Amino acid sequence: MKFEYPAGDNPIDRLEVVGRPSDRLDGPLKVAGQARYAYEQHEVAPNQLYGVAVGAAVGYGRILDIDTRQASSAPGVEAVITGRSAGQLDIGDFYVASALAVDQVEHYHQAVAVVVAGSLEQAREGAARVRVRYDRQPGAFVLKDAVFAAEAPETSPDIDIGDFARGFADSPVRVDEIYETPDQSHAMMEPHATVATWSGNRLILWTSIQIVSWGLRDLAKIFAIPQEDIRIVSPYIGGGFGGKATVLSDAVLAAVAARHCGRPVKLALERHLQVNNTTHRPATRQRVRLGADRDGRLQAIGHETWSGNLPGGAAERSTIPTTSLYAGAHRMMRTRVGRLDLPEGNAMRAPGEAPGLMALEIAMDELAERLELDPVELRLRNDTPVDPTSGKRFGTRRFAECLRTGAERFGWHKRGTRPGLVVDGDDFVGLGVAAAIRGNNVTNSAARVRLRRDGSLLVETDMTDIGTGSYTIIGQTAAEMLGLGLDRVEVRLGDSSFPRASGSLGQRGANSSTSGTYAACQMLREKLCAAAGADPARADFADGQLIDRGRRVALRDLAADGEIVAEDGIEFDPARGGLAHQTFGAHFCEARVDRITGEVRVTRMLAVCAAGRILNPKTARSQVIGAMTMGLGAALMESLAVDPRLGLFVNHDLASYEVPVHADILEQEVIFLDHLDEHSSPMKAQGVSELGISGVAAAVANAIYNACGARVRSYPVTIEKILPHLPLA
Amino acid sequence: MQQFTYERATSPSDALHKIAAAKGGRFIAGGTNLLDLMKLRIETPGHLVDINGIGLDAIESTADGGLRIGALVRNADLAAHPWIRRDYPVLSLALLSGASGQLRNRATTGGNLLQRTRCPYFYDANQPCNKRLPGSGCGAVGGYSRQLAVIGGSAQCIATHPSDMAVALRALDAQIETMRPDGTTRRVAIDEFYLAPGRTPQQETVLEEGELIAWVVLGAPPGGRHVYRKLRDRASYAFALVSVAAIIEDSGRLRVALGGVAHKPWASQAPFEAGDTPAAIAGRLLQGAEPSPGNAFKIELVERTLRSILAR
């Protein structure tokens, strides 16, 4: 089904099931421990062996020799496989680091061998006995140095509109600052894990992956086998945040080991390997220049960003939000990537927007201060109905309403107009605001629906649920379309034998995959009408019945002779109606800073999100408060520490890479400006999950500044960066 | 994990007998630190003697009006004990600021004292660490040292001791009573229990091979106002950047111990007097500190935390 816009009226608009705060369909399974994650797939392939990856001990260098003799003779060890014995392995299309080093170690903890044994303990013991000699080589580990040879990636062309240099020079009020964001880890709960087995030339993987079809594509390339010979099953994913976009070393090593041993192999990356073996959000240095007239109207916006990566690796595109967020005639954006021999930087929750807004939205706070203008008002004055870079109209843009609603609900008027004005007990109290913007993108998605003989419905699609609620909203969509209760719908996800959907990445999964389900259900409705002799233009589906001009036919009766199956997908026009598609929001934060010790407590957070129709306010809220929590982590604590002598992220476990805990979160509120986006999809929805993190960290940093006057431009805003700004007595 | 043998002891003397019979053996109680380290092969004992069933799990009053705390008393039980909450609240506060509810349910008094450093170089077997592999060097010196020691360290090691409980015990001038395989017992002041890293950072305490912590002994209740302030990057479940255990006696005299700054709870021998300023106290406590650029902020943080405590 091609999506024709505007969407017009359709059965989803009834909102009998969609739009309601249904509990997760998979919730009971998860709380009862019955949802089987990849590593728990014990019975799917009998006679499993256990694999353990050996991570490289140097940040960069050559492998001189791997002595596997002691490992091979360890009790229970079946095989010790190195890059030389694994057979030819390519890389996929998304990640650039090799899953298994052959001669050259590209980064710390890159796998140099995999040990396979009859038990996990035996495999670990074997792995500890692998002796590797390295020629440690000087690598590039310092972003500040890498920027000098940084290059412009093809994916991020320079943007020059108007005459930035002149516009900036002519602006009476200016900000020109450097901001730094650190390397961050996804730190998802479930480690990367896979069970792999071969049946002849066919490879089957039970794994934890966000986009099943990318996994097929990349495994086919890595192993030089046809995609048709691969099956991926990934029904439950314990968090990904971009770190499981496609297959990583766990999948490749498990498949290599299973091929080598002729038996199924189970392999999970040990926790201490996750940080350096897999990917992370790369650190950035950003220069933001803002020039405004005395009324606060931006004349010139300059945003340059530098990040580092392995050769061929992607740039962190921090300027993306700046292209579309504020008006301003003179614009200059630059994205540069230099070489670093640290682990690969890649997608993490709102890549581009999250680090970009961490910089831009502090700069806006600084500009507001220089203008002596309220930060909310400054943002309102630079609202624009047209994307200032592409010149396209926005499909929807309710940014101003987000700001106004949030200011009203949050008590923004209580904000001190200067730092240090509001004191309560031992604390300075400050309020901060930041804009949120995140692309509303879509991907063609398909589904198969089966009306079963008992009148229940089964939905099958390779869409994944990474903890987001996909099962539930897909079920709600199908229930709405066929006039069934949610309890009459079963949803099966994450299997490559099902029709291809968007997968979960870039906050496009919910809108895309439910639209694919919509398309399949629309086809099923037509089939059912044909079977019942009803007019599809007039027929209604309600209460488990097809209703046509007063005639009611139970769906169960239509399927009495056998299930009725329909498969279709949604196809989006790449031009998307000639409109700019973005989601908007505003984040508000209240922070308390101890006047003597500089300890920070974030006491209140509010997100106002304009993200189209909210398909399920409960799961959407969970997404947003989770993202706000991650944004708070980015603001206050999350940072991978680089040791530039050794070339690694030193704090590679969850004791030393701190993410927020319950005690850090006091009060979070989410307001959805529920509205319809007729140009986005038949669901009239947009993405929301990554909007929830975009801007949060800057709102926290701005609140800290408003509280105590500590303007920190290098995240995270830890205590030692605040202390120099506090009064001594 | 390296293979090991395991047996359960039924009494303190049985435990001492069993450990003496096994070379390179270790006692295991809560296992909240030792097992983690064994999985990472940072600890590789060939034999474990489980002491969970040997008794020593009570809190008893002593003749001089103090208490003795069995080495097997769980951190959660110790923190919640009415005598501790009434008479030694700094200890309860310190315990509750550490770890998580689950870990405190399992971890023991003796084990808490003996937990190993959280230095990230200690935890990564690929990196140099004189504590883990004597003679291999110290990754932390000149490396990522934000969490590490500002005083008492050496060129060979700047690890910090991660315990909160021990900091409170130092402020309380606790004694540690041990049993040795030959049947003798001894008492060591907590300040003398931990060894400075010097050239041998692998030797962390005065405990001899096979020696068992039996009791932690507290003197009569000190009275006064008790405070435990722990500063960290998140509100719970994090090790201290800096912590301060303080007992402000009714006379104004101050007993104070610092966590997060050294290889042991850091304190001065003599208490401070009522008129001492936070700057003077911090100055005396941290005289001779040699912080690195990555952790020099701890010096100021100690002073500010003391000021915050004394301002009330």
Mean of the pLDDT values across residues A269-291?
97
What would the DSSP string read from start to end of chain B? Answer: ----EEEE-SSHHHHHHHHHHSTTEEEESS-TTHHHHHHTTSS--SEEEE-TTS----EEE-TTS-EEEETT-BHHHHHH-HHHHHH-HHHHHHHHTSS-HHHHHH-BHHHHHTPPP--HHHH-TTS-BTTTSTTS-BSSTTS--TTS-SSS-BTTB------SHHHHHHHTT-EEEEE-TTS-EEEEEHHHHBPP-TT-TT--BSPPTT-EEEEEEE-S---SEEEEEEE-SSSSS---SEEEEEEE-TTS-EEEEEESSSSS-EE-SSPBPTT--HHHHHHHHTTT----TTTTHHHHHHHHHHHHHHT-
Contacts of A57 in chain B (CB under 8 A): 126
**Which chain A residues have a beta carbon less than 8 Å from that of B37?**
none
Share of chain A above pLDDT 70, in %: 100
Contact: B308, A426; criterion CB under 8 Å: yes
Per-residue pLDDT at A108 exceeds 60: yes
Residue B234 Cα, gap to closest chain A Cα (Å): 6
Partners of residue B120 in chain A, C-beta under 8 Å: 641, 650-652, 656
Q: Mark yes or no for CB contact A723/B308 under 8 Å.
A: no
Which amino acids of A are annotated catalytic? 690
The DSSP element (H or E) to which A375 belongs, if any, is: helix A375-381
Nearest to B126 among A57, A719, A726 (CB): A57
Tell me if B139 and A643 make a contact (CB, 8 A cut-off). yes
User: In this complex, which of A124, A637, A726 lies closest to B233 when CB atoms are compared?
Assistant: A637
pTM: 0.98
Q: Which pLDDT score, from 0 to 100, does residue A729 have?
A: 56
Q: By percentage, how much of chain A surpasses pLDDT 90?
A: 98
Contact A509, A502 (CB under 8 A): yes
User: Is residue A581 pLDDT above 60, yes or no?
Assistant: yes
> CB of B44 within 8 Å of any CB in chain A?
no
**pLDDT tens track for A645-696:** 999 999 999 999 999 999 999 999 999 998 999 999 999 999 999 999 999 9
> What integer pLDDT is reported at residue A83 of this predicted model?
98
Could you tell me whether strands A457-460 and A445-451 are parallel, antiparallel, or unpaired per DSSP bridges?
A: antiparallel
Closest-CA residue of chain A to B42: A128
Interface mutation vs chain A, best among B300, B302, B305, most A CBs within 10 Å: B300
CA-nearest residue of chain A to B143? Answer: A643
Residue from A219, A189, A183, A108 nearest A348 by CA? A183
| Nearest residue of chain A to residue B140 (CA atoms) | A643
pLDDT level of residue A630 (50, 70, 90 thresholds): very high
Residue of chain B minimizing CA distance to A59: B126
> Tokens 């390339």 sit at which residue?
A221
Q: Does the pLDDT of residue A592 top 80, yes or no?
A: yes
B145 near A CB under 8 A: no
- A100/A111 Cα distance (integer angstroms): 5
CA B254 from centroid of its chain's CA atoms: 21
Cβ pair A597:B305 closer than 8 A: yes
Q: What is the DSSP string of A458-471?
A: EEE-S---SSS-HH
Measured between alpha carbons, how far is A723 from A727 in angstroms, rounded to an integer?
8
Instruction: Give the whole-number percent of chain B exceeding pLDDT 90.
Output: 96
| Beta sheet of A49-55, edge-to-edge order | A77-82, A111-117, A49-55, A265-268, A193-199, A202-207, A230-233
Inter-chain touch B121–A57, beta carbons under 8 Å? no
Whether residue A658 and residue B233 make contact (CB cut-off 8 A), yes or no, is yes
A338 has pLDDT over 70: yes
pLDDT (tens digit per residue) in A482-501 = 999 999 999 999 999 999 99
B233 vs A656: CB contact, 8 Å cut-off? no
Chain A residues whose CB is inside 8 A of the B238 CB are: 658, 661
* Residues of chain B contacting residue A58, judged by C-beta atoms under 8 Å apart: 126
At A693-721, the pLDDT tens digits run 999 999 999 999 999 999 999 999 999 99
- What are the angstrom distances between the C-alpha of A647 and each of A1, A59, A141, A167, A342? 50, 4, 6, 42, 6
Q: Is B234 near chain A, with CB under 8 Å?
A: yes
Q: How many of the other CB atoms lie within 10 Å of CB of B26?
A: 17
Burial A118-143 (b: 16+ CB within 10 A, else e): bebbbbbbbbbbbebebeeeebbbeb
Place of tokens 């038996």: A263
More confident residue, A447 or B274: A447
Residues of B in contact with A121 (CB under 8 A): 1
Chain B residue whose CA is closest to A646: B127
Query: B236 vs A719: CB contact, 8 Å cut-off?
Result: no
Q: So what's the pLDDT on residue B2?
A: 80
Sequence-distant contacts of B99-106: CB under 8 A, at least 24 apart: B99/B32, B99/B75, B99/B237, B100/B236, B100/B237, B101/B76, B103/B30, B103/B32, B103/B75, B104/B74, B104/B75, B104/B76, B104/B79, B105/B74, B105/B75, B105/B76, B106/B30, B106/B31, B106/B32, B106/B74
Amino acid code (one letter) for A472: T
The whole-chain average pLDDT of chain A stands at 97
A39 pLDDT above the threshold of 60: yes
Contact A128 B41 (CB under 8 A): yes
Residue B308: closest C-alpha in chain A: A596
CA distance A355 to chain B (A): 20
Confidence grade of residue A574 (pLDDT, cut at 50, 70, 90): very high
User: CB atoms < 10 A from the CB of A20, how many?
Assistant: 14
pLDDT at position A693, please? 98
Distance between first and last Cα of chain A: 69
Which has the higher per-residue pLDDT, A148 or B26?
B26
Task: Supply the pLDDT for residue A674.
Answer: 87
SS3 state at A520:
helix
pLDDT of residue B312: 80
ipTM for this model = 0.97
Flag whether pLDDT at B24 surpasses 90: no
- Of B208, B111, B233, B101, give the one whose Cα is nearest residue B165: B111
Is the bond preceding A716 in cis, omega lying within 30 degrees of 0?
Answer: yes
Chain B: give the shortest CA distance to residue A592, in Å.
13
pLDDT in tens, A345-390: 999 999 999 999 999 999 999 999 999 999 999 999 999 999 999 9
Best A54, A428, A636, A646 member to test B by mutation, with max B CBs in 10 Å, is A646
Which residue from B2, B234, B236 is facing A637, i.e. has the nearest CB? B234
What is the percent of chain B where pLDDT is above 70? 100
Asked if B238 and A643 come within 8 Å (Cβ–Cβ), the reply is no
Q: A661: distance to nearest CA of chain B, Å?
A: 7
Q: Least CA distance to B298: which residue of chain A? A: A720
Mean pLDDT of all residues in A243-272: 98
